[in-house]
Amino acid sequence: MSVGDNKISGRSNDPDQIDLIDLVMQLWRGKVTIIVCVVVAIVLAVGYLAVAKEKWTSNAIITQPDVGQIAAYNNALNVLYGASAPASLQMNVIGRFSTAFSALVETLDNQEKSEKLTIEQSVKGQQLPLVVSYVGDSAERAQRQLSEYIQQIDDKVAKEMVVDLADNIQLRTTALTDSLKTQEVIAQEQKDLRIKQIQEALRYAEQAGVVKPQIQQTQDVTQDSMLLLGSDALKSMIEHEATRPLIFSGNYYQTKQNLLDIEALNLEKAKLHSYRYVLKPTLPIRRDSPKKAITLVLAVLLGGMIGAGIVLGQNALRGYKAKAQQS
């Protein structure tokens, strides 16, 4: 016998080595058990697919609103603040939308029957656009519910901003009204002071017996020399000043114009939209789970493995019992 024959003989007689041919034969003889296990696994998988809750995801992409979507609101701010009106209204609006939407995400996630709603950056590192998603139990419901939640937040943000605008209008109206009243008080005080100065000059003129004007150039008249206009002229000046309307600066009339413009604002026309669609909510064509093909493949593999394990285990148990009886 050669050395090669001794090696082959030693390998075949080694009890610790696995004979692949024998293993295959064992599995073949137990094929009925394996097939039964595979069939049972497939039946269970089909049952799981029938009762498992389906998950469908609808996505939408949004960004800041167009200028036209906030034009009326922006015009109202320009009327209120003029050159001081905020310049980044579009970013401010979409920022409020994102904050309100994130709050809704947390609310839905923490309720007893949670709902999966998400909002995130479309491109990492860039603020806009934003991707919003909703997971529903059907494609139609996922699309419809996502649209409703987006509209709900849009209405909420628009309502809050109109309320803010109304508050700002009230504050601005109050400030302008107070400014007008202050300027009117100052103008009245200036008028009263002017009349008092003329009356004082009239008293001195009467005491000095000055009836007719003693000077020709009235533009150079001061408080001290006013009595030289004569009592007749001073009395006429008092009557004129008493009936003369208050004198205001250009700032008074500009303030009044601003107030009239603000009072003419119509909040109903100041509505706005806080976002713009880049991609409207999609109708998903593939469900997220359960995956039918993957589930069935895994069922076949798992059933085959379990069947093979049963067959090999039974054969190993028979071999062990046979050895025990021989010994």
Please name the residue that has the structure tokens 């909040």.
267
Q: Where are the alpha helices (DSSP H) in the chain?
A: 3-12, 20-29, 31-51, 71-81, 89-110, 139-208, 231-243, 250-263, 292-326
pLDDT by 10s per residue, the chain, length 327: 444 444 434 444 454 455 788 888 877 888 888 888 888 888 887 877 666 688 899 999 999 999 888 888 988 888 888 888 877 888 999 999 999 999 999 999 999 888 999 999 988 888 899 999 999 989 999 999 999 999 999 999 999 999 999 999 999 999 999 999 999 999 999 999 989 988 988 888 888 888 887 777 666 677 777 777 778 888 888 888 888 888 888 999 999 999 999 888 887 777 789 999 999 999 999 887 777 778 778 878 898 899 888 888 888 887 777 777 776
Number of domain units in the chain: 2
State whether 174 and 299 are in the same domain.
no
Q: What CATH number does residue 258 fall under?
A: 3.30.1890.10
Q: Residue 246: left (phi > 0), alpha (psi -120 to 50), or beta?
A: beta
Residue range of the domain that includes 78:
54-187+246-289
Same domain, 178 and 110: yes
Show the tokens assigned to 216: 């020709």
Measured between alpha carbons, how far is 28 from 24 in angstroms, rounded to an integer?
Answer: 6
Q: Six-digit token pair at 199?
A: 């009356």
Same domain, 274 and 141: yes
> What is the length of the chain?
327
pLDDT on residue 233:
83
Whether residues 48 and 148 share a domain: the answer is: no
What whole-number distance in Å separates Cα of residue 279 and Cα of residue 139? 17
User: Cα Rg for the chain, rounded, in angstroms?
Assistant: 47
Q: Rounded to an integer, what distance in angstroms lies between the CA atom of residue 296 and that of residue 41?
A: 9
- The pTM score is 0.69
Residues 163 and 48 in one domain: no
| Residues 318 and 260 reside in one and the same domain | no
User: Does 227 map to a domain?
Assistant: no
Residue at 212 is within a domain: no
| 215 and 221 Cβ atoms separated by less than 8 Å | yes
Report whether the peptide linkage leading into residue 86 is cis, meaning its omega lies within 30 degrees of zero: no
Q: Is 278 exposed, middle or buried (0-12, 13-18, 19+ CB in 10 A)?
A: middle
Answer yes or no: do 156 and 299 share one domain.
no
In angstroms, the CA 110 to CA 68 distance is: 37
Lateral strand order in the sheet of 276-279: 116-121, 130-136, 56-63, 276-279
CB 199 within 8 Å of CB 282: no
Residues 296 and 279 in one domain: no
For residue 24, is it within any domain?
no
